[in-house]
Amino acid sequence: MKQIAVLSGKGGTGKTLIAASLVRFLKNDAVAVDADVEAANLGLFLSGRTVSEEALNAGQYAAVDDALCNGCGECARVCRFDAVRITAETARVDPMRCEGCRACLIVCAPGAIDTMPRQTGVLRVRECDSGILVEGELLPAQDNSGRMVTAVVDRARQIAAERGAPFVVVDGPPGIGCPVQACLSLTDQVLAVTEPTVSGFSDLQRLLDLCDLRGIPAVVLLNRSMPGWEHPPAVERLCEERHIPFLGRIPFCRDIPAASMRRLTPLDHPLTAPPLQEAFRALFEQINC
C-alpha cells in the first residue's frame, strides 16, 4: 500500500480539488482521507453516505475529587491557563480553559486531581462513488488536531488493508505545523500543489524543506497557471535546482469555481482534465506503479 499526501504549505492552492481529482482518477483503488480536520471539505466532491461515526478523544482535562481536595489552592497557583477556581474549600476546573498540561496533578499533595479523556472530534467513514472516504471533524474550541490526523489516517490505512486497496490518498492540512507533521507519518509520496503567487512559492519552499527533513520524496504540480502572470517560472527552476520532479501546469480556468459548486473537479473539465491526467500518470511513474 502506498500513501500519497496532497499538500501545499498554504491554503487556497486548490489542493482539495486536486486530491478529489486524484481519488476519482484512481477510481476504487484508493481510500481517501480528509486530514484537514479543522475544515474538512473533501466530502463536498466525493459525496456519499455515512456508514459509521465515532467520537475521537485526543485530549484530556483535569477533574478534582472533592472528597480528597483540601482547598490548599496549589493547583490554581501553578495553572498557567487560569482554569482553576478555589470555591468553598475545594477546587473547580473549567474544562473549556483546561489545556490538560497536568501541572496541577504534580503539585496536588493529596492526589485529588486526575485527568479525564476529552472528546476533541468525530471520525466519519463514508461510502462514496469513488470508494471509501475517512474524514475527521474537530469540535469547536478543541485542539490536538495532530493526534486526530493520526487517528484518521490510521483508520484509512486499516480500511485500505482490509479491502486490498493499493493507495491511500490524503488531502492534508495547510501549513507545515503539527497536523501536517502527523499527516506525513507513513507517507510514501508527497504531491505538492502550488499556485503562481509569491506566497505560494514561499510556502512551497517550506513544504519541500520539510519533506527533505523527513526524507519523503515530493513532486510538484503548479495549479492555476497563468502564463505571463506567474511568479515566476521560478517553480520549475526551484524543482530543477532541488532535483524534484515537476509534474506540470494546470491552467487557470474561470469555470472551475462554478463547476466545484456542482461537485465537479478539474478532472471533469475539458481544459484542465488532459494536463491533470498527464500529471497523475507522471506521479505514478515516479512511485513505480
Q: Find the shortest distance in angstroms from Cβ 176 to ligand SF4.
A: 27
**Which of 19, 15, 16 lies closest to 3, judged by CA?**
19
Nearer to ligand SF4, 71 or 248 (CB): 71
- Measured CA to CA, the distance from residue 38 to residue 243 in angstroms comes to 33
C-alpha to C-alpha distance for 38 and 186, rounded to whole angstroms: 21
Distance between CA atoms of residues 169 and 146, nearest Å: 18
CA separation for the pair 202, 16 (Å, rounded): 20
Helices (H) and strands (E) in the chain, counts: 9, 13
- Residue number with CB closer to ligand SF4 (112 or 221): 112
Report which of 250, 256, 246, 257 is spatially closest to residue 274, judged by C-alpha positions.
250
Pick 57 or 286: Cβ nearer ligand SF4: 57
Of the candidates 188, 118, 183, the residue with the CA atom closest to the CA atom of residue 150: 183
- Smallest gap from residue 78 Cβ to ligand SF4 (A): 6
**51 vs 106, beta carbon nearer ligand SF4:** 106
Residue matched to cell numbers 506540470: 248
Least distance between ligand SF4 and beta carbon 116 (Å): 10
CA distance 119 to 117: 7
Residue placing its CB nearer to ligand SF4 in the complex, 98 or 169: 98
Q: Report, in Å, the least distance between residue 70 CB and ligand SF4.
A: 5
SS3 124: strand
Q: Please, which residue, 110 or 232, has the CB nearer to ligand SF4?
A: 110
Provide, rounded to whole angstroms, the least separation between the CB of residue 59 and ligand SF4: 11
Taking the complex as a whole, the smallest distance from the CB of residue 114 to ligand SF4 amounts, in Å, to 10
List contacts with ligand SF4 (CB under 6 A).
62, 64, 69-75, 78-79, 81, 83-84, 86, 91, 93, 98-104, 107-108, 110, 112-113
